[in-house]
Amino acid sequence: MSAHAANSSHASASPVPTSALASKFLIAGFIGLAVTALGFLVSPFQHVALSYLIALTYWTAVAIGMLMLVMIHHIFDAGWSTVIRRQFEHGLSAFKWLLVLFIPLIISVWVKPGAIWSWMDTTLPLHGGHGTIGDDPLYVKKASFLSREMFTGMTIGFFVVWMWLSARLRKASFTQDSDGDAKWTFMSRKTAAFGIPLNALALTFASIYWMKSLEYHWFSTMYGVWFFANCMRAALAMGVVITCWLYVRGDYKGIYNTNQFHCLTALAFAFVVFWAYVTFSQYFLIWNANVPEETFWYNIREHGDWLWVGMLLLFGHFVVPFISWLFYRNKVNRAPALKISIWVAVIILIDICYNVLPMLTHQHDGHDVPINFISINLLWVISSVIGVGGICVWSYLKSFPTTKLIPIRDPRIVESLTHHDATAPEAYQLKATST
């Protein structure tokens, strides 16, 4: 039997059942959500609600990144990524559950307007007590955009877009396993052609509504690109985790080789640099312009230990992964690549906290200053991340056994299975394969 036939036979075999593992993650998700719900009884509403918002934003970012990676694969007609594309397609199943989990926040903006996003209650006083939000010229200019009706409709619209694009891509990919018709490849390519700009608009407006508008005075033209960078980095980090898990489990043995893994980690390396470029550009442009409506956002993050959180992002988000990914052995050996990816996934969560939690303030010398990072009850962030994450992983594991491990009839599957890099040192390939 040829190597390709062996690989195809392996791919067609029924995967090891994941139902028991899925049940464990579902239970963990319910426990995490239950702990977060109890938090509303013992902690201020805003503290717990913002923690829940962080978790929802974080896991939605992972799913958005996976959606973008699938569409980028199709628009470029990529070959190497065909064998791992299916895992990202399974991850897209989480969007409908993320919408369900977002409903409590949508309800809260109608029941307790202004409790999370202050601009939803125009009677609230401005900082310093000079009038109300409704009298604020900066709010008046944005009032048609910053309204509960727009927030509700747009948020539901974001998820509808993501679910629709995901459904089209999943249907085309899964159905092609059965009939092998090339029309499904063309359908995926067309979906990617209009889906990439549509997804770009959705993720940009989502980041503005969910996070940036928490401090609606702030202006930044780079915010959507910053969120896109984090979406891609989070999805690539999860991609490394998933592929390592499947390789250790035995599913990817003989299918997923060192060179495919290297392409995945090299792409993760590229987005380290992209994130740094976008983040530095945002900071430099705001610092250089020195406009109060922009600089205050960074100023309030230089109080207390938020300065050290910023330093952690500088070194942990860029310096550590940049230097780590520079070494070829870290990009082809699963053990170090897994550690780097988990580190990046954690730092992205801290980055979202850095954008959201300084909204929690207290009075100091007559001024509102952010509560110190270590003074915030981070239990609600942890429980929310576990809760929402448990549901998302359960959704992935429920989708996993419903189709083939890899898209066996994709026109690019042979190219993907035989993908190789002639420049890769043989010693590294052997070492990475045995890891």
Cross-strand pairs, 330: none
What is the predicted pLDDT for the residue at 7? 45
> How many Cβ atoms are within 10 Å of 422's Cβ, its own excluded?
5
Average pLDDT of the chain, as a whole number: 89
Specify the length of the chain in residues: 435
Q: Which residues of the chain have pLDDT under 50?
A: 1-15, 422-435
pTM of the shown model: 0.91
Residue 184 tokens read as: 């499904």
Whether residue 70 contacts residue 88, with contact meaning beta carbons closer than 8 Å, is answered with: yes
- Separation of alpha carbons 409 and 175, rounded Å: 10
Which single residue is written with the structure tokens 């952010």?
370
- Separation of alpha carbons 420 and 98, rounded Å: 37
What is the predicted pLDDT for the residue at 8? 43
What is the predicted pLDDT for the residue at 2? 38
Whether residue 188 contacts residue 101, with contact meaning beta carbons closer than 8 Å, is answered with: no
What is the predicted pLDDT for the residue at 323? 97
Cross-strand pairs, 367: 364
- Separation of alpha carbons 27 and 19, rounded Å: 12
What is the predicted pLDDT for the residue at 291? 86
- Separation of alpha carbons 405 and 22, rounded Å: 17
- Separation of alpha carbons 332 and 256, rounded Å: 12
Whether residue 148 contacts residue 110, with contact meaning beta carbons closer than 8 Å, is answered with: yes
What is the predicted pLDDT for the residue at 362? 59
Whether residue 177 contacts residue 407, with contact meaning beta carbons closer than 8 Å, is answered with: yes
What is the predicted pLDDT for the residue at 301? 87
- Separation of alpha carbons 352 and 355, rounded Å: 5
